[in-house]
């Protein structure tokens, strides 16, 4: 297990290093140093300011010096640069957006895991029943549903139509209350965005869980467990679910990782100023340091969660550790 | 002769490598090729056939969009500022003139939706082709050669998977708007196809690699080697045909994902650019105004997109079940 951990973590770090270089290359190497300095400085910068910025990023040095400087700033000083557009450090902008994205992802993840696992298990245990067919059809529908279509549908029916008919149960899009201010209002404001992400994501989990459990039901050790007279509940939960969870865990790591980098579409649909929304605004205003900062945070999230998923996988399924 | 045998076994393996099953073996004894069996299973599946019918209908709509525009007399770019808009400048609802209403520019929504089908289908197929071809080549190389080539490709896939794809698509778009990347990749269709095509390589590649690893151990590969076949011949003549079944399944299931991906990029404003008709872009445009009453502008493009992805998914599931008879036991 220790060797597996070391190998997996070093792979993760290597990919992370590649990612920082990719981001650096897109934003710095592509356009050329002078152009970068001009964009970084903003539209109204004086030549002196541009020169100062070029010097600060060591843009006039060879690319590897500038890249090394860029890396050192991030990893040793936690310095993602300065958000010249909003006149604050990039970390400040990111820390403002992060709680919103975190709230969105955590709530949605709990919901979609609960919905996806429950429907998947019911579907697999009651194969070919009416419930199975209904749940499978439902999963197929949401699996095909683009996130923005569902989100807009919720805003239209859940907010607009209901509110104009006097049933104002869902808040207007864009509502946001920090958890620390009022947990209930926090949850109330996020219900529709949560449901949007959760229903679309849960469909994948329903399909995954159902498929994996049906596969495992065909295994010899399930027959052995049943022939020992083990109660069906125990067969399902202890023998089947544990083995079936491995693909679910991998998928969960991937999904949460991607969403932590900004649930871009959901945040856009509901006008929630999380990481994704901030990134889009930053790109529109050519606020490059902020875009880079968010892209790096997003890749770190993906790499770490993939790593966590692989490690969980190894914990759940001892066979993985050997390879 | 020996190659014929290896070819026949190869095709059976294509299916049973993925999912070995008793039913498959019994059927091979009757001497029917897995392709015949799969297509027969598919034809017997009512949901798949209905979906296929709807897919054909959508394709026909896309091809015949100009014909329909000529019949109604409403061009896809023509703005009807007097009859297509309310005095306040808002879109008008469905009527006998505009069956599905008009959009924010006073254009016929139905004609625009039909033109939008062209973009969606084209991107769906083109980007999926880029994904499948690229992923297959890399996966084949990784699985077949192993060693350091495998390690390099594996890290490349890790890297691809770590890229926040929407963020990067948006960033690339913002770079391309200023000047085309490498001098020729401009914003719009090319960037959409490249971005969507490129990011799928890792998932296709990993599947292909896994398949190649198990195919490599088969007796017919050993036989080919014993007959003196070189690595390239084995790779393309003996291994690749056995990957066709899983690749066909994967391709059909990938098309709807790609269509949604392209629509998402358009929705965020970094996909296909106006005035080209595109569903994601229509939904984006509608999202700012449907709360003021023009629900049709949101509803109909959304329905077009949803129905398209849904029928492709149902058909894709059907194709998978047809190639993977184990599904018969459960569904």
Predicted confidence (pLDDT) per residue in B125-164, tens digit: 999 999 999 999 999 999 988 889 999 998 899 888 878 8
Buried b (16+ CB within 10 A) or exposed e, A227-239: eeeeeeeebbeeb
Identify all chain A residues contacting B284, using CB atoms and an 8 Å cutoff. Answer: 148
Provide the pLDDT confidence category of residue B97 given band limits of 50, 70 and 90: confident
For A36, A53, A94, B172, B174, the CA distances from A33, given in Å and listed in that order, are: 5, 10, 25, 18, 17
pLDDT of residue A40: 67
Q: Give the integer Cα–Cα distance in Å for A92 and A185.
A: 25
Predicted confidence (pLDDT) per residue in A16-43, tens digit: 888 888 888 877 766 666 667 766 666 6
Do A303 and B162 count as a contact with CB atoms less than 8 A apart? yes
Nearest to A156 among B174, B284, B298 (CB): B298
Provide the pLDDT confidence category of residue B61 given band limits of 50, 70 and 90: very high
And the tokens for A74?
A: 């991030």
Q: Which residues are within 8 A (CB) of A238 and not within 5 positions of it... i.e. 6 or more apart? A: none
Cβ–Cβ pairs < 8 A, chains A and B: 128
Do A254 and B161 count as a contact with CB atoms less than 8 A apart? yes
pLDDT of residue A134: 92
- Report yes or no: A304 and A12 within 8 Å, Cβ to Cβ: yes
Q: Which residues are within 8 A (CB) of A140 and not within 5 positions of it... i.e. 6 or more apart? A: A203, B310, B313, B314, B317
Predicted confidence (pLDDT) per residue in B259-305, tens digit: 999 999 999 888 888 888 899 999 999 988 888 888 899 999 999 99
Q: End-to-end CA distance of chain B, in Å?
A: 39
- Mean pLDDT for back-to-back runs of 10 residues, chain A (323 residues): 84 87 77 67 72 74 79 76 77 90 94 94 89 91 93 90 84 85 89 94 91 86 89 86 84 87 88 91 81 86 87 76 58
pLDDT of residue A270: 93
For A69, A72, A81, A130, A299, the CA distances from A77, given in Å and listed in that order, are: 11, 7, 10, 59, 19
Provide the pLDDT confidence category of residue B30 given band limits of 50, 70 and 90: low
Burial of A187 (0-12, 13-18, 19+ CB in 10 A): middle
DSSP B237: I
And the tokens for B67?
A: 């014909």
Q: Give the integer Cα–Cα distance in Å for B320 and B249.
A: 5
Do B158 and A31 count as a contact with CB atoms less than 8 A apart? no
Do B167 and A298 count as a contact with CB atoms less than 8 A apart? yes
A16 touches chain B (CB under 8 A): yes
Phi-psi region of B19 (alpha: psi -120 to 50; beta: other; left: phi over 0): beta
**A263, A241, A265, A258: which is closest to A306 by C-alpha?**
A258
Q: Give the integer Cα–Cα distance in Å for A92 and A229.
A: 60
Do A302 and B170 count as a contact with CB atoms less than 8 A apart? no
For CA atoms A137, A138, A144, A149, give the dihedral sign: positive
Q: What are phi and psi of B91, to 5 degrees?
A: -65, 155
Q: Give the integer Cα–Cα distance in Å for A316 and A195.
A: 29
For A192, A256, B117, the CA distances from A110, given in Å and listed in that order, are: 14, 11, 36
pLDDT of residue B26: 53
Q: For chain B, which residues make up each domain, given as ranges?
A: 44-83+94-323
Q: Give the integer Cα–Cα distance in Å for B36 and B42.
A: 10
For CA atoms A69, A74, A77, A82, give the dihedral sign: positive
Q: Give the integer Cα–Cα distance in Å for A246 and A316.
A: 7
Q: Give the integer Cα–Cα distance in Å for A286 and A105.
A: 27
Other Cβ atoms less than 10 A from the Cβ of B280: the count is 31
Buried b (16+ CB within 10 A) or exposed e, A126-151: ebeeeebeebbebbbbbbbbbbbbbb
Buried b (16+ CB within 10 A) or exposed e, A31-56: bebeebbbbbbbeebeeebbbebbee
B306 touches chain A (CB under 8 A): yes
Q: Which of B153, B156, B165, B167 to mutate to test the interface with A (most CBs of A within 10 A)?
A: B167
Identify all chain B residues contacting A144, using CB atoms and an 8 Å cutoff. Answer: 256, 260, 306, 309-310, 312-313
Nearest to A15 among B159, B256, B306 (CB): B159
Predicted confidence (pLDDT) per residue in A70-115, tens digit: 788 777 777 777 777 777 888 888 999 999 999 999 999 999 999 9
pLDDT of residue B184: 67
Q: Between B295-323 and A130-144, two packed helices, what is the crossing angle to 10 degrees?
A: 120
DSSP A287: -
Do A261 and B164 count as a contact with CB atoms less than 8 A apart? yes
pLDDT of residue B200: 87
A212 touches chain B (CB under 8 A): no
Q: Which residues are within 8 A (CB) of A257 and not within 5 positions of it... i.e. 6 or more apart? A: A301, A302, A303, A304, A305, A306
Q: Give the integer Cα–Cα distance in Å for A48 and B47.
A: 68
- Mean of per-residue pLDDT scores for chain B: 82
Query: Could you tell me where the DSSP H helices lie in B217-274?
Result: 219-226, 231-233, 240-267
Provide the pLDDT confidence category of residue B3 given band limits of 50, 70 and 90: very low
Q: Which fold has domain B44-83+94-323?
A: MetI-like fold (1.10.3720)
Provide the pLDDT confidence category of residue B179 given band limits of 50, 70 and 90: low
Provide the pLDDT confidence category of residue B182 given band limits of 50, 70 and 90: low
What are the beta bridge partners of residue A89?
A82
What are the beta bridge partners of residue B91?
B85
What are the beta bridge partners of residue A143?
none
In degrees, rounded to 5, the angle at the alpha carbon of residue B255 between the alpha carbons of residues B129 and B308 is 145
What residue of B is the nearest CA neighbor of A269?
B287
DSSP B217: T
Do A152 and B158 count as a contact with CB atoms less than 8 A apart? no
Do A283 and B310 count as a contact with CB atoms less than 8 A apart? no
**B46, B38, B42, B52: which is closest to B311 by C-alpha?**
B52
Identify all chain B residues contacting A128, using CB atoms and an 8 Å cutoff. Answer: 330-331
pLDDT of residue B16: 43
CB < 8 Å from B in window 246-285 of A: 254, 258, 261-262, 264-265, 268-269, 276, 279-280, 283-284
What residue of A is the nearest CA neighbor of B260?
A146
pLDDT of residue B12: 42
pLDDT of residue B264: 92
What residue of A is the nearest CA neighbor of B311?
A144
Predicted confidence (pLDDT) per residue in B194-218, tens digit: 889 988 899 899 889 988 888 888 8
Predicted confidence (pLDDT) per residue in B72-83, tens digit: 878 787 788 777
Burial of A86 (0-12, 13-18, 19+ CB in 10 A): middle
SS3 content of chain A, % helix, strand, coil (to 5): 80, 0, 20
Do B167 and A149 count as a contact with CB atoms less than 8 A apart? no
And the tokens for B159?
A: 């890297």
């Amino acid at each position: 297990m220790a060797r597996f951990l070391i190998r997996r973590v070093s792979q993760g770090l290597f990919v992370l290093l590649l990612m920082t270089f990719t981001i650096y290359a897109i934003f710095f190497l592509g356009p050329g140093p002078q152009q970068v300095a001009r964009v970084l400085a903003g539209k109204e910068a004086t030549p002196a300011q541009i020169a100062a910025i070029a010097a600060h990023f060591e843009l006039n040095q060879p690319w590897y010096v500038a890249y090394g400087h860029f890396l050192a700033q991030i990893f040793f000083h936690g310095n993602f640069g300065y958000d010249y557009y909003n006149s604050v450090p990039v970390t400040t902008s990111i820390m403002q957006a992060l709680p919103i994205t975190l709230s969105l992802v955590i709530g949605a993840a709990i919901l979609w895991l609960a919905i996806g696992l429950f429907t998947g298990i019911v579907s697999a245990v009651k194969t070919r029943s009416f419930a199975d067919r209904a749940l499978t059809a439902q999963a197929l529908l949401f699996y095909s549903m683009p996130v923005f279509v569902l989100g807009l549908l919720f805003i239209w029916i859940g907010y607009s139509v209901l509110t104009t008919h006097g049933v104002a149960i869902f808040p207007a899009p864009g509502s946001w209350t920090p958890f620390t201010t009022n947990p209930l209002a926090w949850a109330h404001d996020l219900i529709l965005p949560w449901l949007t992400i959760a229903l679309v994501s849960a469909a994948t989990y329903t399909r995954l869980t159902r498929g994996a459990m049906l596969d495992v039901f065909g295994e010899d050790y399930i027959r052995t467990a049943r022939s020992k007279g083990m109660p069906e509940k125990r067969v399902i939960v202890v023998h089947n679910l544990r083995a079936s969870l491995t693909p679910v865990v991998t998928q969960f790591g991937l999904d949460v990782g991607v969403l932590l980098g900004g649930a871009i579409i959901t945040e856009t649909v509901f006008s929630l100023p999380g990481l994704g929304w901030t990134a889009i605004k930053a790109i529109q205003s050519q606020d490059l340091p902020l875009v880079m900062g968010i892209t790096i945070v997003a890749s770190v999230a993906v790499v770490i969660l993939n790593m966590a998923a692989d490690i969980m996988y190894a914990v759940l399924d001892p066979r993985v550790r050997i390879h | 002769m020996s190659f014929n045998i290896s070819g026949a076994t190869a095709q059976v393996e294509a299916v049973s490598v993925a999912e070995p099953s008793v039913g498959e073996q019994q059927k091979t004894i009757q001497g029917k090729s897995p392709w015949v069996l799969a297509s027969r299973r598919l034809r017997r599946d009512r949901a798949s056939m209905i979906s296929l019918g709807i897919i054909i209908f959508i394709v026909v709509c896309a091809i015949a969009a100009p014909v329909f525009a000529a019949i109604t007399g409403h061009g896809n770019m023509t703005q009807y500022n007097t009859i297509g808009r309310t005095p306040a400048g808002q879109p008008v609802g469905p009527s006998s003139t505009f069956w599905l209403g008009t959009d924010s520019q006073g254009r016929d929504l139905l004609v625009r939706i039909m033109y939008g089908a062209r973009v969606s289908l084209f991107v769906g197929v083109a980007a999926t082709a880029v994904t499948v071809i690229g992923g297959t080549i890399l996966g084949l190389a990784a699985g077949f050669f192993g060693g350091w080539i495998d390690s390099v490709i594996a890290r490349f896939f890790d890297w691809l998977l770590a890229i926040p794809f929407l963020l990067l698509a948006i960033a690339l778009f913002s770079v391309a708007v200023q000047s085309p990347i490498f001098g020729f990749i401009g914003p719009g269709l090319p960037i959409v196809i490249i971005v969507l095509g490129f990011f799928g390589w890792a998932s296709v590649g990993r599947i292909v690699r896994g398949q190649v690893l198990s195919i490599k151990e088969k007796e017919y590969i050993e036989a080919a080697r014993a007959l003196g076949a070189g690595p390239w011949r084995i790779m393309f003549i003996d291994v690749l045909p056995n990957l066709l079944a899983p690749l066909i399944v994967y391709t059909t299931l990938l098309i709807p994902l790609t269509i949604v991906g392209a629509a998402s990029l358009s929705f965020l404003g970094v996909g296909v650019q106006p005035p080209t008709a595109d569903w994601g872009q229509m939904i984006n445009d509608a999202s700012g105004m449907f709360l003021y009453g023009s629900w049709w502008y949101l509803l109909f493009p959304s329905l077009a997109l949803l129905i398209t992805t849904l029928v492709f998914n149902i058909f894709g599931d059907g194709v998978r079940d047809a190639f993977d008879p184990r599904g018969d036991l459960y569904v």
